[in-house]
């Protein structure tokens, strides 16, 4: 059995944003002490409700936000301010909104060709055009689309343009930030299948950020669950769905609709009480304790760390 090499290692990543409150500035802890690894050619799913810090993790990995603290090690080399421009040849991002992430004044050929221009990956105009057409073919776009503008395309086609742009520099790793959430369900399936085909063909690794657990389960080898800036559970995709250990993960999974009335009637929906605390005024100890049915005094005093419960199933909880 081949052992996959670790491609990306994230250690104790923190991303705090200064927010003014009256006369003082307090830190908004968008990402707080997050650690995980992604192997070559692997997909790690990152899930959680809106505002938990998923997108901030993805953007911080590519230094679109300067990390407050922590280490990002890519392909054995630490990612820093000095080498990020070189590293971006290997690390790319597909953005959530295919409507705002494409320049409306540029043709498709120029949008996809821009990374080739930035990194000087062609010797003449003919080679540039050939590379752009090859990338368009990869993602299911026709050569006659090259001279059109983004507004002439549907959402699914625009997302394909964004994916082709990310693939232009032949990256080893792509952050997929909710790449199908703005698309119709039938188009979602096409785009997800395309991601899988490209991974099989090119061996690219993904951090797949989404809030749809069914989509993440389908595409990911492992899944990490985030709550208020922290990862509370990481496990193999099938293991997490069959045996969720953290109370928050159990609640998320119980909310997934199943198209079978008999199963739906027999399932127990776990409804969390209370509201998500503000990241500007976090509770002491475990951030989830204010909504957790199993919270104890220990949860209020200290924050649980991720511990291995067997087969790489990591959970941050004292009572599970």
Residue 3: per-residue pLDDT: 53
Q: Which residues of the chain have pLDDT under 50?
A: 1-2
Q: DSSP assignment, residue 107?
A: B
Task: Tell me the three state secondary structure of residue 159.
Answer: helix
Let me know if residue 268 belongs to a domain. Answer: yes
Beta-bridge mates of residue 11: 71
Beta-strand pair 173-177/91-94: parallel
The CATH number of whichever domain residue 272 belongs to comes to 3.40.50.300
Let me know if residue 55 belongs to a domain. Answer: yes
Let me know if residue 128 belongs to a domain. Answer: no
pLDDT tens digits, one per residue of 276-316 = 888 888 889 999 999 998 889 999 999 999 999 988 999 99
pLDDT tens digits, one per residue of 43-88 = 999 999 888 999 999 999 999 999 999 999 999 999 999 999 999 8
Domain total in the chain: 1
Find the domain containing 302 and state its range.
Answer: 6-90+171-315
What's the rounded Cα separation, in Å, for the pair 176 and 275?
Answer: 28
What stretch of H or E contains 58?
helix 54-61
Residue 1: per-residue pLDDT: 40
């Amino acid at each position: 059995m081949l052992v996959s090499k670790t491609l990306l290692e994230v250690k104790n990543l923190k991303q705090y944003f200064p927010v003014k409150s009256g006369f003082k500035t307090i830190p908004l802890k968008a990402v707080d002490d997050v650690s995980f690894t992604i192997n070559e050619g692997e997909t790690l799913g990152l899930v959680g409700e809106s505002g938990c810090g998923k997108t901030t993790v993805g953007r911080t990995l590519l230094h679109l936000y300067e990390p407050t603290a922590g280490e990002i090690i890519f392909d054995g080399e630490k990612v820093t301010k000095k080498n990020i421009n070189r590293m971006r040849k290997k690390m790319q991002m597909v953005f959530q909104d295919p409507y705002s992430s494409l320049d409306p004044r540029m043709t498709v050929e120029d949008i996809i060709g821009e990374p080739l221009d930035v990194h000087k990956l062609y010797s003449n105009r003919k080679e540039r055009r050939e590379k752009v057409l090859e990338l368009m073919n990869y993602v299911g776009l026709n050569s006659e689309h090259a001279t059109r503008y983004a507004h002439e395309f549907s959402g699914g086609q625009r997302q394909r343009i964004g994916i082709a742009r990310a693939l232009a520099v032949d990256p080893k790793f792509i952050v997929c930030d909710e790449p199908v959430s703005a698309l119709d369900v039938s188009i979602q399936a096409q785009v997800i299948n395309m991601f899988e085909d490209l991974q099989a063909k090119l061996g690219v690794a993904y951090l797949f950020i989404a809030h749809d657990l069914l989509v993440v389960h389908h595409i990911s080898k492992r899944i990490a669950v985030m709550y208020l800036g922290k990862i509370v559970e990481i496990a193999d995709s099938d293991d997490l769905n069959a045996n969720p250990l953290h109370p928050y993960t159990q609640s998320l999974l119980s909310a997934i609709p199943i198209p079978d009335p008999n199963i739906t009637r027999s399932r127990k929906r776990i409804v969390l009480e209370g509201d998500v605390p503000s990241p500007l005024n976090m509770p002491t100890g475990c951030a989830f304790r204010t909504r957790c049915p199993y919270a104890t005094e220990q949860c209020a005093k200290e924050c649980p760390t991720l511990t291995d419960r067997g087969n790489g199933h990591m959970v941050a909880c004292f009572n599970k």
